[in-house]
Chains A and B, each alone.
Chain A
């Protein structure tokens, strides 16, 4: 079985081996499935395996989720990346591994109960997130914790740590006629002259749907009793933007490349510090900037 998807601006053709099928129960799968394309950006073969994967902590880069029931690891070399996830209490999977080699990949899933006719979740968390973070990095883009709205063709991005008001800001814009591109995790693509934001499936418990918009302004938000908008420039702007991006510090080359992507975005899109009280006044003030 084959499915085609487009998330974070990247088209992927998934192909299952054997009699396994992609779960049609997944709203995520349905929302991001797209028409078959002649050439997908990446081709991923999905294979069920019976032997759980093992993480070798002595090599590569290790990330460990805290109290979220899984451990993950990325092994990075010049020609391959191997992403492994160990689930501690998943009812569905014991382990999952993705081996990326150029534009091809093999996703091995080790279920808790093996069957030759398995329902497969192409967006298995966090393997999917880790994969898309690496793929977009290879394509000179990145993921950033943020909400993005489309206001009549203009994209405005609001980024901050959780609980600061990203989703609140998105809803305020929605009430003023804009559409929400995503309110948790967005992809920024720099391959074209303008920076394009693309919706991404970030976490299984957030709703997301495919959408893209040209980015006109980046706002580093904080809650405030009064509204204010101040330009942020220079290295300070670069670092403050960097700090809200998903960054896998595999080695110096990856760090340098990630910094270069952030610098490209900061050079093309104005960055502002934004304090706001949660009403529509802030929408009018941002529109008045004429970005």
Chain B
């Protein structure tokens, strides 16, 4: 399974941090505005193109000093699932 970001948000800088702003007609979605840390920004950069969890894990291992792979994978999956719940990422079988 591959994951890809939807074209329904922007990521920009605010006061030294990266923030995610939804592009949505729903006022409720404004509650989904996020301050992103470095790793979440990294994942959202990777999922601009369809990518598997395995490939995200490999990219992390190349870029960062990572925890044990199972812990890393679990953290990535948790974030990806949160983004799917918010409608910012879709699956692509």
Interface positions of A (Cβ within 8 A of B): 61-63, 233-239, 242-243, 247, 249, 251-252, 255-256, 259, 263, 266-267
Q: Which residues of B contact A242 (CB under 8 A)?
A: 21, 30, 33
Does B1 sit at the interface, judged by CB under 8 A?
A: no
Give Cα distance in the complex from A290 to B24, angstroms. Answer: 39
Give Cα distance in the complex from A259 to B16, angstroms. Answer: 14
The residue in chain A whose Cβ has the minimal distance to the Cβ of B25 is A63
Q: Which residues of B contact A252 (CB under 8 A)?
A: 10, 23
Q: How far, in Å, is B69 (CB) from chain A's closest CB?
A: 31
Q: How far, in Å, is A161 (CB) from chain B's closest CB?
A: 10
22 A–B contacts, CB within 8 A, in A order: A233-B15, A234-B14, A234-B15, A234-B17, A235-B17, A235-B19, A238-B14, A239-B14, A239-B35, A242-B30, A243-B33, A249-B22, A251-B23, A256-B10, A259-B10, A259-B12, A259-B19, A259-B21, A263-B14, A263-B15, A266-B14, A266-B15
Q: Which residues of B contact A61 (CB under 8 A)?
A: 25
The residue in chain B whose Cβ has the minimal distance to the Cβ of A237 is B15
SS of B interface (majority) = strand
Q: Which residues of B contact A238 (CB under 8 A)?
A: 14-15, 19
Q: How far, in Å, is A44 (CB) from chain B's closest CB?
A: 25
The residue in chain B whose Cβ has the minimal distance to the Cβ of A254 is B23
Does B31 sit at the interface, judged by CB under 8 A?
A: yes
What is the count of residue pairs linking A and B with beta-carbon distances less than 8 angstroms? 54
Interface positions of B (Cβ within 8 A of A): 10, 12, 14-19, 21-25, 30-31, 33-35
Give Cα distance in the complex from A211 to B13, angstroms. Answer: 33
Given A235-B16, A237-B15, A238-B14, A247–B25 Cβ distance below 8 Å? no
Give Cα distance in the complex from A239 to B31, angstroms. Answer: 10
Give Cα distance in the complex from A252 to B12, angstroms. Answer: 11
- 7 nearest A-B residue pairs (beta carbon): A235-B17, A238-B14, A249-B23, A234-B15, A235-B14, A235-B35, A239-B33
Q: Which residues of A contact B22 (CB under 8 A)?
A: 249
A243 close to B31 (CB less than 8 A): yes
Give Cα distance in the complex from A235 to B24, angstroms. Answer: 20
Q: Which residues of B contact A256 (CB under 8 A)?
A: 10, 12
Selected contact of A249 from candidates B25, B31, B34, CB within 8 Å: B25
Give Cα distance in the complex from A233 to B16, angstroms. Answer: 11
